[in-house]
Amino acid sequence: MNDPLNICIVDDDDIYQYTIIKTLESLKLAKKIIVFSDGEEAIDFMMDNLNNMDELPDVIFLDINMPIMDGFQFMEEYVKIKPNIGKKIIIYMVSSSVDPIDIEKAKSITGISDYIIKPIHPGELKSILEKLDIKGML
């Protein structure tokens, strides 16, 4: 992976948002970081930018437990709009939940690349992002 990525964080935890943003900035792997506090805000953004490649994220780090629209509800809506999205987006479910039911549910959803248990350590985040070859997946 050579080019910095548009990265989207969908999580209602202010402390987590702050730490992952600072980690991404220190790793210099993000071109743009977009943050939403619930799934509904993120879906609305996606709908407003369906064909805007510069605005749409390359990667989404999606929390499960959020108010208004949780991560699983986000994925239900995302699957509906995915055929209209003009680019490949990789989604990681990120949660502090170690509940096997949550993990299995996340892994059963086609659009989710992996399930990551919080906190994401800087080395793990760097490894995940460096393995991505967004252009090669289009």
Instruction: Judge whether 48 lies within some domain.
Output: yes
Q: Which pLDDT belongs to residue 1?
A: 42
Q: CA 117, CA 105: separation in Å to the nearest integer? A: 14
pLDDT at 134 over 70: no
Instruction: Judge whether 127 lies within some domain.
Output: no
At 58, is the secondary structure helix, strand, or coil? coil
Length of the chain: 138
Q: Which pLDDT belongs to residue 136?
A: 45
- The CATH number of whichever domain residue 106 belongs to comes to 3.40.50.2300
Instruction: Judge whether 135 lies within some domain.
Output: no
Q: Which pLDDT belongs to residue 2?
A: 53
Note down the domain range covering 25: 12-122
CA angle, residues 69, 6, 54, in degrees to nearest 5: 100
What separation in angstroms does the CA of 16 have from each of 3, 53, 55, 78, 123?
25, 26, 23, 23, 16
Mean pLDDT on 57-72:
95
Q: Find out whether 62 and 79 touch, Cβ atoms under 8 Å.
A: no
Confidence of residue 65 (pLDDT cuts 50, 70, 90): very high
CA 55, 109, 112, 90 dihedral sign is: negative
- pTM for the model stands at 0.92
At 29-48, the pLDDT tens digits run 899 999 999 999 999 999 99
pLDDT at 137 over 50: no
Q: Find out whether 73 and 39 touch, Cβ atoms under 8 Å.
A: yes
Instruction: Judge whether 107 lies within some domain.
Output: yes
Mean pLDDT on 101-108:
93
Query: How many domains does the chain contain in total?
Result: 1
Instruction: Judge whether 41 lies within some domain.
Output: yes
